[in-house]
Chains A and B, each alone.
Chain A
């Protein structure tokens, strides 16, 4: 069974710090990886997608993928209070386009 493990948190960081969110997955044939942000009471919104080993940067966000270790992470630089949310990692394995989601990590950025 495909699984995604995330530290549920809460993870608390001061404003301006780097927040590091981690995720491990069990399916070795996973092809695509995603980070979503979900504010309380809202639906998830896509932050990053990553398909190849290494780092991918988009503004203050950097996703890191290591397929050999089955590990994906998200770094948020210069964290802002508005980054406070639950961060969901997800991966797709197989051909049916279904995503498997982790339970999410609650991040709190303190002013």
Chain B
């Protein structure tokens, strides 16, 4: 149980294009999902909290117009990196909290490695 998937696992795009990353909770419902970014040999950095049916809450310093988050259902959240630039190249990881159990354990997806040329 508690499986989270991400798609795509790896994406290479040209500078200026937009990239959408999907995060799905496969066997549980998640009213809350989280998006993280991790640069090589660095710690996880929380970008935003995605709330089903409402606006995402962004961490300080994260541009909400650049990183668009949509949490349209209890099992799906998407992160769109708009007008991507090489400095956006990173490992993007989502996590989801099982809403049914009420516990606060976060289960992570396998991550999406984004390379912007």
Contacts and interface: CB of A to CB of B under 8 A. Distances in A.
Interface residues of B, number: 18
Contacts, number: 45
B84 interface: no
Interface in A23-46: 31-32, 34, 36, 42-46
Interface residues of A, number: 20
B93 interface: yes
B72 interface: no
A7 to B, nearest CB: 13
Contact of B49 (A45, A46, A98, A101): A98
A103 interface: yes
Contacts of B106: 34, 46, 97, 99
B70 to A, nearest CB: 19
Nearest to A45: B108
Interface in B27-57: 32, 34, 43-44, 46, 49, 57
Interface of B: 32, 34, 43-44, 46, 49, 57, 93, 97, 103-111
Interface of A: 31-32, 34, 36, 42-46, 49, 88, 92, 96-99, 101-104
